[in-house]
Amino acid sequence: MINVEAKGYGVESEQIIIASKKELNMIEVPIDITYKGIINSSKKNPLTHGIEVIGTIIRCSLNERSLLLLGLPGAIISLTGILSGILLLIEYNKFKVFNIPYLLICMIGLLFGTILSVAAVLLYAINRFKKKT
């Protein structure tokens, strides 16, 4: 039995992801459906359908690889903030002028990098806890 969390059109994507993780064999069975008297058989806009499917794929990927998908970018963004802070200090010591763009890059980089890194570690810990229980 495959338990899925997605609702709506994201269910199929999650079922395929879970089945491939469990190494289940999948085959595609072509079907042909004709709706008589119905012009538009789709209930959802294709854009919202696509966003829902992509959201499901992103959620499943983040659950499995949070350290790679959030932690690595968080570390890179934090490093960018630190390097910008170092450049800010060098500029200030050299010219006695406070460079606002370096300050903004430093603060934003450190803030977002820290948020991404903490989110990655929390998601990783939650997923490890869920797998143990």
Q: Where are the chain's structural domains? A: 7-34+43-64, 66-133
52 CB neighbour count, 10 Å cutoff: 18
Q: Scan for tokens 């012009």, then name that residue.
A: 39
Would you place residue 15 in the very low, low, confident or very high pLDDT band (cuts 50, 70, 90)?
Answer: confident
Model confidence at 24: pLDDT above 70: yes
Tell me the pLDDT tens digit for each residue of 76-133.
999 999 999 999 999 999 999 989 999 999 999 999 999 999 999 999 999 999 888 7
Q: What per-residue confidence (pLDDT) applies to 41?
A: 65
Mean pLDDT of 25-54: 82
Tokens matching residue 65? 């690889």
Tell me the pLDDT tens digit for each residue of 40-92.
666 778 898 899 999 999 999 998 899 999 999 999 999 999 999 999 999 99
Q: Whole-angstrom Cα distance, residue 99 to residue 56?
A: 42
What rounded mean pLDDT belongs to the chain? Answer: 90
Q: What per-residue confidence (pLDDT) applies to 9?
A: 79
Contact predicate 20/60, CB 8 Å: no
